[in-house]
Chain A
């Protein structure tokens, strides 16, 4: 029961992040499934993808209504992405879960630093706007 509640909270957080930042939410879902819900790395990857597809669809629809989606570009990048995705899944499933987990953690750490710097830049910008 607590687990179900946790899953719903995870969904609420990732859904709102997905729509506001334009991401699928996997960078929150995968670590949450692995560290909080004790999923295996491969199981977490597949489950994350199963969540991302409909979440991104809802998110894309919301943005489409606001007239912000460049569909031609999305289709082009998306179909090129299919090639990469098929390769990526096959590499992931061939890899040791533990190595995959560590690689992912490194990516996460790098991204969190980038995000933190961006947050700082945005904060500074908003301050200087208030001051002027």
Chain B
């Protein structure tokens, strides 16, 4: 952490750049931006995987909130947010996040990333075809 801390002052520009790119992707695609933030933290700012993931979700709260507010103000007609669906999915994801934080460390990381890769590949295929 100190190693990172000493690099921080000289790397604030990297941090701002990561934020702008991740924020743009967040607003454009409706994602949090963690897929950009986590690797950028690890590669550019030398954070370890755990701090990178933890700091990434804290970052996402801010950027996704900005995207959400902008979207709510700007969207019209059938572009608008399905709040009922959002509330129900969140009720599941809140439980998933709390339980996951406690127990997921027991599952090997390659299993998690492997499953994640498969789900994304399936999604990509269905959206392209």
Contact = CB atoms under 8 A, between A and B. Distances in A.
Contact of B15 (A40, A73, A103, A126): A73
A30 B31 contact: yes
Interface string A97-132: 000111111111101110110111011001000000
Q: Is the interface of B mostly helix, strand, loop or mixed?
A: helix
B97 A59 contact: yes
Interface string B53-97: 111111111111111101110110011111101101111111111
Contacts of A8: 88-89, 91-92
Interface of A: 4, 7-35, 37, 39-40, 42-60, 62-64, 66, 68-93, 100-109, 111-113, 115-116, 118-120, 122-123, 126
Q: Which of B30, B50, B100 has the most CB of A within 10 A?
A: B30
A105 to B, nearest CB: 4
B127 A56 contact: no
B26 A63 contact: no
Interface residues of A: mostly helix, strand, loop or mixed? helix
Contacts of B61: 53, 56-57, 60, 78
Interface string B110-125: 1111101111110111
B21 A31 contact: no
Given A89-B71, A122-B108, A104 B127 contact: yes
A3 B66 CA distance: 29
A109 B121 contact: yes
A42 to B, nearest CB: 4
A4 B88 contact: yes
A63 B112 CA distance: 18
Contact of B8 (A39, A72, A75): A72
B43 interface: no
A75 B110 CA distance: 30
Nearest 8 interchain pairs by C-beta:
A24-B32, A11-B92, A88-B27, A15-B96, A22-B53, A84-B23, A80-B19, A78-B62
B118 to A, nearest CB: 8
